[in-house]
Structure 1
């Protein structure tokens, strides 16, 4: 009896169930976003509604309007711009600082060169809530609360340890013979690092940058505690602000959530080849 067709059918069924599991919440968000408030709360739900994109137009209408916010939904587009600034800065800082530190840990031997990366990785076990008060105290003394700079510093502190550990593992997998050949040809240490090691570690750098970008983009705790000025509001607190004691705008919250998910989804799809390669390569060379 040939079991290959049956196995193939089960694979397709399993793939379909996994797709429903992953994409189901996004479809439900889309349903709520393109319905009126009354239809969104209807039981049973309307699975194929007549689309109404007024929630998206309400949010996107503030894209080029710099006037004061009259409604909570007016803060989503400014929050998106501020979150983009924070996430890009955090990603760039992680790539620059993490690549230098990871390369040093991978190529040089000094006191703590083996134990410090493990300590950095262990620091990721500390809950973010436990760091709120220390971060707030330090940044307040530096007059950096209610600024994007303070949030950027906090997010870098959270993401950089994992970036260093990941890039250390990736640089350790780069053949040292390639760098020795460049040194024999007269290249300086900096030239070897910038022209040889970094290009070979491109997948790892992209993975580290995407990790830092996504953490900073989706940050809520530090964005709320360290920055409560309306002018500098970030995206996740802006979306959460749509649910308050005066109104519960589920349609606007769903539309805002879809808009906030779109950049990370697009970036992940475009760079998925490098992302998977970088994470798998780094995971196997700890």
Structure 2
């Protein structure tokens, strides 16, 4: 009886593990197959991309990527949507880096103030800032456009940066406040007993301890800014300042569509945020979860 019971338990464990493995593999296929097809179309010729049935492992063809980069660095003015992909990536990189840097500075200082000082509204304002994230972005487009147009900042990268700060800073401040709340206040007091001023405590003691949170804020704001489509489209119509997401959408509006260039442009647009997420995954998870119980 004991041997039979052990065999039954072993069979049950194997069945449970097989079920878990099957679920994980199914989820991986659900997530990775679209990227595989995107890569497949980007690295095949036009004839192979229209082939029926498709080749699962076709001959490699980098013609789509070559066309994108050749048109970008030819020196000629843009004549078709594919010419705007590389300049769009450059503009998006400038905007996203500025948004990330400003988010880090604003969120670190404001988050520390909310975590360590008590003043009128110090408890209510973080909740209000977090609640502002519930406002649909569509409701913010017109106010931002009117404001930036009155300041002559529409159709500029500066205007897009201001708009992106408007809906990334509140969550970044809330995130940094939660992280600073997870750092014991005794650390500040010990540093002040040793002769540090409040600013020295913040810059030399607390900020190094909050590095995972700072990296998380930078990654979050960079990804949100890079992936934004609505504000980048509405607030900026100049081709020399166009960002990558509107540039990619332009590929789908031409009469003679090239699926290879569409896929190649989409891969180029997704590559920076994917690499950042993979390289900084450890810091991103730590920054988003640390201090969550002391919000």
* Aligned equivalent of 2:164: 155
Q: Does residue 184 of structure 1 match 2:193?
A: yes
1:251 to 247, 260, 267: 260
Whole-angstrom distance in 2 between the partners of 1:45 and 1:53 = 18
Conservation of the 8 A alpha-carbon contact between 2:104 and 2:218: yes
Which of 265, 268, 271 matches 2:274?
A: 265
Partner of 1:223: 232
Q: Distance in 1 between matches of 2:221 and 2:84?
A: 24
User: Scaled by the length of structure 1, what TM-score is found?
Assistant: 0.95
Residue 67 (structure 1) aligns with: 76
Aligned to 2:215: 206
Q: Distance in 2 between matches of 1:143 and 1:235?
A: 22
Whole-angstrom distance in 2 between the partners of 1:40 and 1:196: 56
| TM-score relative to the length of structure 2 | 0.92
Task: Give the aligned partner of residue 98 of structure 1.
Answer: 107
Whether contact under 8 Å (1:204, 1:282) holds in the other structure is: no
Report the more deviating stretch, 4-13 or 174-183: 4-13
* Partner in structure 2 of residue 168 of structure 1: 177
Q: What does residue range 16-165 of structure 1 map to in structure 2 within 5 Å?
A: 16-62=25-71, 64-165=73-174
C-alpha distance in structure 2 between counterparts of 1:245 and 1:179, whole Å: 59
Flag structure 1 segments of 5+ consecutive residues without an equivalent: none
Give the deviation of 1:265 after TM superposition.
1.2
- Describe the SS at the equivalent of 1:120: helix
1:262 deviates by: 1.0
SS at match of 1:69: coil
- The superposition leaves residues 157-209 of structure 1 with CA deviations (integer Å, 9 ceiling, x where unpaired) of 11011001111000000011111000001101110001111111111111111
Larger Rg, first or second structure (1 or 2)? 2
Deviation at 1:19, TM superposition (A): 1.3
Per-residue CA distance 1:74-133 (angstroms, 9 max, x = gap)? 110000000000000000010000111111111111111111111101111111111111
